[in-house]
């Protein structure tokens, strides 16, 4: 069998050796937004595991755009230098291409890391004022302050500057975070955006600021490198952002030079009712892929089975599968998937002796137990 999961794919001038992407996963372990030895070990290990692409966690464009005080930012020379150290290590020893997700938490900021409860920070814990399209709180969090147009322009510039830093660091690909209830998603959803100006109301208006941000980021990012976006295709709440609107948003993004849509769901409203099951988000990405005619990445309970991941790609439901928690559980997930599917894949140079095909040569007297 020729594995589709382990077939190469090219976006602009970037060729990935397979369709496996390690999903961006917040680590809540940065120091004043800067990466440290944890990230060196975490991302360094993942970069050696043979996924075609490893994505760095949601990295915010401002300190007050973080989810928690321990979240990553890319808004200072110190942030840039610390992250470059990590990415340089991954390039030296790993085999994966490296991408980064850039975002702003909006009204979901100023909270504790999940391991500490995930509640809104108190003043004693260093809480900061959050912002959003409207003064509508996220659950029982404090209400954000509605952004002015001048502040929106400042945020566009902050996103542009983060992109410039990502290019200097040497990333191969970037992704704007437009899902999971963070700032861009807040503008898209009528549940969080009840503005009465040109940025609220109709879908065209709700898309306006997200598209402005994307356009500025794409203009700053080199033309030969791919850029995409993570989108929550549904809020799973009546009256929220929905799959029909997600398709139209994807079409508008494609017209601005978007190269892929990373399709997820939810995260905006505590009332969401999500029918969790293996691959439960795949149909949303499949629809966007077909109707907007754009490559998609599918994420969400996929990594439990190499066969499931293979079927998603082989049947044309997505162009990439994203592995998150399963990559944490097994950083060599792609090696094991290749072995299961009878495919070949890359091994980090220092780990080449681990290839199953070489074991009989290296250990000719080894016999498997009866």
Q: Which residues are catalytic?
A: 182
Q: What is the CA radius of gyration of the chain?
A: 21
Element (H, E) at 56: strand 53-60
242 vs 264: CA distance, rounded Å: 12
How far is CA 295 from each of CA 9, 229, 306, 316, rounded to the nearest angstrom?
10, 11, 21, 10
Q: Treating both helix axes as pointing N-terminal to C-terminal, what angle do 333-341 and 306-314 enclose, rounded to 10 degrees?
A: 70
Nearest to 133 by CA among 77, 189, 204: 189
Contacts 24+ apart (CB under 8 A), 144-150: 144/106, 144/107, 146/195, 149/197
Spatial CB neighbours of 44, under 8 Å, sequence gap ≥ 6:
86, 89, 90, 93, 94
Q: Which two tokens stand for residue 192?
A: 């969080």
The tokens 């080199």 sit on which residue?
Answer: 222
- Environment class of 182 (CB within 10 Å of its CB; exposed 0-12, middle 13-18, buried 19+): buried
């Amino acid at each position: 069998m020729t594995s589709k999961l382990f077939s190469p794919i090219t976006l602009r001038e970037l060729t990935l050796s397979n369709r496996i992407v390690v999903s961006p996963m917040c680590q809540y372990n940065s120091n004043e937004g800067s990466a440290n030895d944890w990230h060196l070990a975490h991302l360094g290990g993942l970069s050696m595991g043979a996924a075609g692409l490893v994505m760095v966690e949601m990295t915010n464009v401002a300190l007050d755009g973080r989810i928690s005080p321990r979240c990553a930012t890319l808004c200072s020379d110190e942030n840039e230098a610390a992250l470059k150290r990590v990415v340089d290590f991954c390039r030296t020893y790993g085999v994966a291409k490296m991408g980064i997700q850039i975002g702003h938490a909006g009204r979901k900021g100023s909270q504790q890391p999940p391991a500490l409860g995930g509640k809104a920070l108190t003043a004693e814990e260093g809480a900061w004022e959050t912002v959003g399209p409207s003064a509508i709180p996220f659950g029982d969090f404090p209400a954000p302050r509605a952004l002015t147009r001048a502040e929106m322009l400042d945020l566009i510039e902050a996103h542009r500057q983060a992109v410039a830093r990502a290019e200097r660091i040497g990333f191969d690909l970037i992704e704007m975070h437009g899902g999971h209830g963070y700032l861009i998603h807040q503008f898209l959803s009528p549940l969080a955006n009840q503005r009465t100006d040109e940025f609220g109301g109709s879908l065209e208006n709700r898309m306006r600021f997200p598209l402005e941000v994307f356009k500025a980021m794409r203009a700053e990012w080199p033309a030969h490198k791919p850029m995409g976006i993570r989108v929550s295709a549904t809020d799973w709440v009546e009256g929220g952002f929905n799959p029909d609107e997600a398709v139209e948003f994807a079409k508008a993004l494609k017209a601005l030079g978007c190269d892929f849509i990373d399709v997820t769901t939810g995260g905006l409203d505590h009332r969401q009712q999500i029918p969790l099951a293996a691959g439960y988000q795949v149909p949303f990405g499949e629809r966007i892929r077909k109707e907007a005619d754009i490559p998609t990445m599918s994420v969400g309970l996929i990594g439990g089975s190499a066969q499931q991941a293979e079927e998603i790609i082989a049947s044309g439901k997505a162009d990439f599968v994203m592995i998150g928690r399963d990559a944490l559980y097994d950083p060599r997930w792609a090696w094991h998937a290749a072995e299961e599917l009878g495919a070949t894949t890359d091994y980090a140079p220092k780990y080449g002796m681990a290839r199953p095909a070489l074991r009989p040569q290296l250990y000719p007297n080894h016999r498997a137990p009866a």
